[in-house]
Amino acid sequence: MRRYRYLALIPAIGMLGGVPVANRVEPYVLGLPFLLFWITLWVVLTSGIMWLILVLDRARDRAELHAARGDGRDGAAAGPPTPTAE
Amino acid sequence: MNAALLIILLALALAIFLGLQARRGTEMTLEQWSVGGRKFGTIFVFLLMAGEIYTTFTFLGGSGWAYGKGAPALYILCYGALAYALSYFLLPVIWRYAKTHGLVSQADFFASKYRSPGLGILVSLVSVAAIVPYLVLQLKGLGIIVSEASYGSISATAAVWIGTIAVVGYVVISGVRGSAWTAALKDLMILVVVVALGTYFPLHYHGGFRAMFEAIDRAKPGFLTLPATGMSTSWFISTVLLTALGFYMWPHTFASAYTAREEGVFRRNAVMLPLYQLVLLFVFFIGFAAILQVPGLTGTAADDSLMRLVRQNFSPWVMGVVGAAGLLTALVPGSMLLMAAATILAKNVYAPLRPGTDERTISILAKSLVPVIALVSVYFTFTGGDTLVALLLMGYNMVTQLFPALLFSLGSRPIATRAGAYAGILAGEATVAYLTKTGTTMAHLFPSWPSVVTDLNVGIVALIVNVVVLFVVTLVTRATRAPADAMLGAPSELVG
């Protein structure tokens, strides 16, 4: 069970859930009215969160591959490449 | 011919040249033509997906809405990011199944999952119906670009015809590979143009971004926030959610998921594409800058604001470069849409109705349907009057109705039955058609409710109707069929 994948819900909750509160012009941040800044911030955070999930998924894929290969003595030759390998 | 038109024409010639280059040396089977032989890596799929998403809608419609409506335009920035997050989980599942079963189109997926060619036909018809407003949007955009770049010497009508011929010629010549290469050129141009203009105008007119927004806030108080009623926060949130769900339900977006070489492509793209969305910020800046500089464009004319502002400020050469970028933003998605619609009609409507049709016939039929679909779109371009965003929202409401049936089919066995999927989609589309035709809003349906409810995007109603019908029919069919199957000893997977 890859429970960290629920992190992917955070962008939707943060971006949209925050809109009623963030729906204002002041304060300006980076020259942007607050609502525009808020949404921009969450677009960037979405990318960051998805990156985190990608990293965790890759680590988990590797771990599962190792487990599937047993102690790994002759696994390197026989094991299939990970599905998410570059 | 002025310099602006000359540059636009050169861009078109280059696009066609790239299409021809891409075609050389590969035999064009249907799979080659429409899914590029399933061999594309991260960069190519990225370009294809970005290419579909950054359309004339983003370019002209995005700036047009920022100009005409203000803060509600920001929904465009939100839904893409959320859809990309969803794609991380959704697309690998779709891709894996499609690869195993050799699927080419979105309808193939439904037909295969529910083991029902009939459902494939229904999905095909829905998606082609939704593609038409999206194509109309591209053609309208092309019309605006060519006609503005000609400084009025080419009428909007002639411009639409010129654009249509260009798109059709391009699709027939190149297929999907041409799209991916031209997408690279297009993305580079649009990036440079949009960032340059979006930075130049606020600095030139106001000396800075904050100064520009403060000036807008003074001139039009409330324009930079969502209004208390109408396009309020409740409209905003419901629209973002609906469009995010519908995002990958477009047949061309769905099918571009098939072009990937391996599923890791989607995961990496889910990280990169939200950042790429930020280009939209500059599109908004252009629209916002236009508010105080080219005031008075109302209704559909708001879509002209970007080109008008450029025309007012720069020489025909710059106008040509902007127009060329605009042309490509219509050409790439326009060609994808046309190709998707043609492939769907040939392979998923005609072929199932006439068993025994060979691949060659389907391929020829698909190519000859391209101009037919284009002509239908031209017809609606001249008869309809909606703004670019309104057209897109209508198409979105239609494709979003496919989401429940897709979602409940993703497991190794569909949760919904075949009848349930049919009924859900039909009920959803019927609701969308009724609501669109009568112009019904939530305020009509629930007149005495607070604005939190009445401002909801009416597409929510259709989606709820869809899901409820899907479940009720699924339960009914399971209840009536299961005992019979048990008696006959049939495996339960045959149910539905």
Is the confidence at residue B215, as pLDDT, over 50? yes
Query: DSSP secondary structure string, B96-156?
Result: HHHHHTT--SHHHHHHHHTT-HHHHHHHHHHHHHHHHHHHHHHHHHHHHHHHHHTTTSS-H
Record: contact B281-A53, CB cut-off 8 A = no
Count contacts between A and B (CB, < 8 Å): 113
SS3 B470: helix
Residue B235 CB-density burial (10 A; 0-12 exposed, 13-18 middle, 19+ buried):
buried
Q: Check: CB of residue B403 under 8 Å from CB of residue B86.
A: no
B9-35 average pLDDT score: 64
The answer to whether the peptide bond before residue A27 is cis (omega within 30 degrees of 0) is yes
Contact list in A for residue B267 (CB cut-off 8 A) is 54, 57, 84
Q: Is B84 on the interface with A (CB under 8 A)?
A: yes
Each residue of A16-64: pLDDT tens digit?
A: 888 888 888 889 899 899 999 999 999 999 999 999 999 998 888 888 8
pLDDT in tens, B385-428: 566 666 677 788 889 999 999 998 888 888 888 888 889 999 99
B90-130 residue pLDDT tens:
888 888 888 888 887 788 888 888 888 889 899 999 888 88
The label of the residue with tokens 């933003």 reads B329
What local confidence, expressed as pLDDT, does residue A85 receive?
A: 40
Q: What is the CA radius of gyration of chain A?
A: 20
Q: Is the pLDDT score of B24 beyond 60? A: no
Residue A33's pLDDT is: 92
User: Is A16–B237 a contact, with Cβ atoms under 8 angstroms apart?
Assistant: yes
Of A24, A35, A46, the CB nearest to B81: A46
The three-class DSSP label of residue B402 is coil
The sign one gets for the Cα dihedral B296, B301, B302, B306 is negative
Q: What mean pLDDT is predicted for residues B339-358?
A: 83
**Among A66-80, B60-74, B125-139, B475-489, where is mean pLDDT lowest?**
A66-80
Does the structure show a pLDDT above 70 at B445? yes
Is pLDDT of B436 > 90?
no
Q: Do A84 and B264 touch (CB under 8 A)?
A: yes
Chain B residues 50-79 within an 8 A CB cutoff of chain A? 71, 74, 77-78
Predicted pLDDT of residue B488: 46
* Dihedral Cα B390, B395, B401, B403, nearest 10 deg: -110
Q: What is the ipTM of this complex?
A: 0.81
